[in-house]
Amino acid sequence: MKMPFSMPDEFASGWFKAGFNFWRAMPLSNEPGGTRKTLTQASADYWRQQTALFTSMVTGMAGGKSASQPVVQPEHGDRRFHAEDWSSNGWYSLLKQNYLINARMLEDMVEASTLDDKEKHKLRFYTRQFIDLASPTNYAATNPEVIQHALESHGSSLVSGATRLLEDMKDGCISITDRSAFEVGRSVAASEGSVVFENELFQLIQYAPLTPTVARRPLVIVPPCINKFYILDLQPDNSFVRFACEQGLTVFLVSWRNPDETMADTQWDAYLESGVMKALEVARTIARADKVNALGWCVGGTLLSSALAVMRANGDDTVASATLLTALLDFSDPGDLGVFIDEAGVSMREHTIGRGGLYPGRELGFVFQTLRANDLIWPYVVNNYLKGKAPAAFDLLYWNADTTNLPGPMYSWYLRNMYLENSLRVPNRLTMCGTPVDLGRIDMPAYLLATEEDHIVPWRSAYQSTQLLGGETEFVLGASGHIAGVINPASKNRRSYWTGGTPGSDAGQWLTGATRQSGSWWNHWIRWVTQHAGDEVKARTAPGSAKHKPIEPAPGRYVKVRAG
């Protein structure tokens, strides 16, 4: 039985190996022109800042000031030290600055190491985890806000915090939102619709039309199987599903089943043949359309592209256009997720769950949280356990905490062939559903969205899909990150996006020639997809068909099953 808050094996072993490599790669000789000069300079900068800090502190005390003049400041956007005491109180100011100086010294040492780029990336990541862990804001004795709350509440905040900690330990995860504030099917995933098909892998939802006429060709959405689909249908004002329906599209959506032990042997090919391809077929049949438009997000985009490559190889041209949202097809640079991927780790997964088993959704959720630890871990440790406060109700974080398991064989195959060996980009290297796949066969128009600050799918990596797909591509770069950049409602007209860059293999060159547009990319996309949606027909209010009768109201049973 696992201990509460246990780390995934990849994280724990990766931290150990990164530490070993750190000391192994430190330059020990005085080689001219080597990295010794860089390390020496880092050491010199460290002692210069420490001396300046000590001098400033002494000068401030001599002058009767409560705090020394700052020698170093947090990076822009660092919200950990916003409390006034971190600047006005001499002790806390010293503590903060000493922490920041030490953190920068560790970062400089990493950059001075002689590791290759991949190993240095890992070392950089795990060093940042340690730096974030060591912040004085994370401990009751060194956080002025925690101490103030304890004094004002006569200690009850600490008692409440301990109670919340014990509750979360029973659940095995840190609470990041008030889960009692939301209910799937009522406050989130509440768009009207019906489940019109289901099998052992997914339910297919058909949403009710919101316009008197609709485009003849429906939109079929393939969300990631590593998360619940309702990130695309949170609440009416930020629901992508509702937006598409309001624009006159008939929307079908795949609701993946949350795997249990009965799916422990499920392979990647099943997600294509019995999942994506089946959904496309059923939606087209119900809509009585010649073709459909397909959209995949994140892993859903990788699944959709794989399915389309199989379909086109077999002469199936029933998909008119493809939209990929923050999806990877070329895994050369997978960003920080790459630090968890190596031969030893993948082989370990293959020899355990790869032969039958489940990868727990909570472990995968923890991995994603570590990518933004100062946003998704430590603020909640401080707020929940040190201050004794309840987390706020936030629909996006409720979805984030609603994790999904993965079948071990499917997950292990995905890790090796995509992340580790990057085989999907190579024509005919992989065989799926008995067919050699070549992304170049995907010759329908494609809309590719990446986001500027994406920490899961780096935008330059997503851009490489323009060089792999065989049809005309429209690449768009949205502002913000993996989630907020996608869920950017048109009605709020926030943020911006870039279009029209110079085509070619160089993502930087594309951006140089791109034009910044204000507002949401949703408006740009709907104009694009409408070109491939066919003529208008009268909307049918009755869901399903004679062959595919409605099974239950949306959002269906599958999405309500929580990971064990």
428, 436 Cβ separation under 8 angstroms: yes
For residue 430, the Cα-to-chain-centroid distance in whole angstroms is: 26
Q: What one-character DSSP code corresponds to residue 386?
A: I
CB 430, CB 307: distance < 8 Å: no
Nearest partner of 218 among 157, 279, 131, judged by Cα: 279
Task: Calculate the alpha carbon distances from 419 to 2, 254, 333, 548 in Å.
Answer: 27, 24, 9, 37
- Quote the crossing angle between the two packed helices 117-133 and 9-24, to the nearest 10°: 110
- Give the C-alpha separation, 283 to 249, whole Å: 13
HEC letters along 193-255: EEEEEECCCEEEEEECCCCCEEECCCEEEECCCCECHHHHCCCHHHCHHHHHHHCCCCEEEEE
CA distances from 131 to 255, 339, 355, 393 (A): 39, 17, 37, 29
Does residue 298 carry a catalytic annotation?
yes
Catalytic hit among 225, 245, 298, 433: 298
Tell whether omega for the bond before 224 is within 30 degrees of 0, i.e. cis.
no
Residue 477: what are its φ and ψ, rounded to 5°? -110, 115
Helix-then-strand count for the chain, H and E:
20, 17
Q: Which residues contact 519 (CB under 8 A, 6 or more apart)?
A: 490, 493, 494, 495, 496, 497
Length of the chain: 564
Here the tokens at position 271 are 């997600």
Q: Any idea which residues carry the catalytic annotation? A: 298
